[in-house]
Amino acid sequence: MTIYNPHTIVEQFHLLFLEQLGRLVDKKLTILKGGCNLRFFLKSIRYSEDMDIDIQTIAKETLQKNVRKIFSSPAFKMALKERSIEISAYSEPKQTQTVQRWKVRLKTEQTAASLNTKIEFSRRGIEKPVHFGTIDPNILRNYQLTPTFFGHYTGEAALSQKIEALAGRTETQARDVFDIYHLLRIGADLKKSLFNLKVDFLKTKENALSLSFSDFKSQVLSYLPAESQKNYDSAIWDQMLLEVIDLLEVK
């Protein structure tokens, strides 16, 4: 019997959206970042609630038109319907020359509750290095999807972004520690990540130390596959935290 998992519903929506987006815009102008990048390209087991994409060159009005076109596309709606997913509503709460954000509400036959996600495009500049490749074949296979190619940030760029996030968020998030730890474990080059990175490392360390295992449980644990959640206890959290703090002390 298939166990309902809201994160896999949202993930399928993200994947199908990327497939449609790649047909409408030059993929070299769109770079996936954040949690979806870690999940789709960098082997993270953490599901992502929202999707963030850096873009360049594409005009605000053109992008807005293309996203609306995807949401109204019969092919996109059919692909979602085949997975018992439907867009019940969406809004465009932020549409500026720098950031364009869509909020989407999904419904599925498996639950009466709506599922919410955001897709955000940013024109704050493309960081280096980036890579152009296929989404993890294992993820695509799980959903019976064909190979999808997209631009994304490398492990080194993602590590820099995550350190910056840990340093600068208004509210410190345990997922940043989890993601930094994951990137270190898969071999992201620390020296390349720290090169020219301008953050207050003392403040970043303090932010990391402010997080507890309770924060990890409430902010991260439910976004991991059910079969993996039992592997993460307070001792593992302390290990992750210690390794990330050691990283910050290197600088």
What CATH code would you report for 6-153? Answer: 3.10.450.620
Determine the distance from the C-alpha atom of residue 19 to the mean position of all C-alpha atoms in its chain, rounded to a whole number. 16
Domain boundaries, the chain: 6-153, 157-250
| Band of pLDDT at residue 128, cut at 50, 70 and 90 | confident
Average pLDDT of the segment spanning 227-235: 96
- The pLDDT value given to residue 248: 84
Residue 27 has pLDDT above 50, yes or no: yes
| Band of pLDDT at residue 1, cut at 50, 70 and 90 | very low
The Cα-based distances of 64 to 92, 125, 216 in angstroms read: 9, 19, 36
* pLDDT tens digits, 200-222: 999 999 999 999 999 999 999 99
Is the whole-model pTM more than 0.85?
yes
b vs e for 200-238, b when ≥16 Cβ sit within 10 Å of the residue's Cβ?
Answer: ebeebbebbeebebebbbebbbebbeeeeeeebeeeebe
* pLDDT tens digits, 44-99: 999 999 999 999 999 999 999 999 999 999 999 999 999 999 999 999 999 999 99
And the tokens for 233?
């206890």
